[in-house]
Amino acid sequence: MSTIEEALSGMMTIQGALGCAVVDYSSGMLLGSQGAGVDLELAAAGNSEVVKAKMNTMKSLGIQGSIEDILITLQDQLHIIRPSTSNEGLFLYLALDKNTANLALARRKINDLESDLKRV
């Protein structure tokens, strides 16, 4: 089991990592963050709205199950949002440099970190 700080440190070891956060999506508040290049407080609030909108859409469509992750592809960056399965209401957020990141490895690592995150 890892703490929020350990999860953040682990995300920053991912190749191409620019910044990362653990976020309470019900409030949009950061529980912790590391890195630069992205306004992580603003990203936390905005991506909380993304997660809530997707959950509401799934509910409206009658889609069962949960979100594994959400990938946002930008011109120079990749953003991964990984809702926590053990800490309902939280998600891990990772911003990557598109030119240096390996998306498959990043998704695998953030999955492992989320699974290992202690109940907050």
Least reliable range by pLDDT among 59-63, 91-95, 103-107, 114-118? 114-118
Are 17 and 92 in contact by the 8 Å Cβ rule? The answer is no
CATH assignment at residue 51: 3.30.450.30
Predicted structure pTM score: 0.94
* 3-class SS string, the chain: CECHHHHHHHHHCCCCEEEEEEEECCCCEEEEEEECCCCHHHHHHHHHHHHHHHHHHHHHHCCCCCCCCEEEECCCEEEEEEECCCCCCEEEEEEEECCCCCHHHHHHHHHHHHHHECCC
Q: Please give the single-letter amino acid code of residue 53.
A: A
Q: Which domain holds residue 57?
A: 4-116
Chain position carrying tokens 């202690």: 118
Lookup: tokens for 112: 């492992």
C-alpha neighbours within 13 Å on the C-beta side of residue 58? 12
Q: 110 with 21: CB under 8 angstroms?
A: no
Domains: count for the chain? 1
How confident is the model at residue 86, as a pLDDT? Answer: 86
Residue 120: which pLDDT band, with cuts at 50, 70 and 90? Answer: low
Question: Could you report the per-residue pLDDT of 39-53, keeping only the tens digit for each?
Answer: 999 999 999 999 999
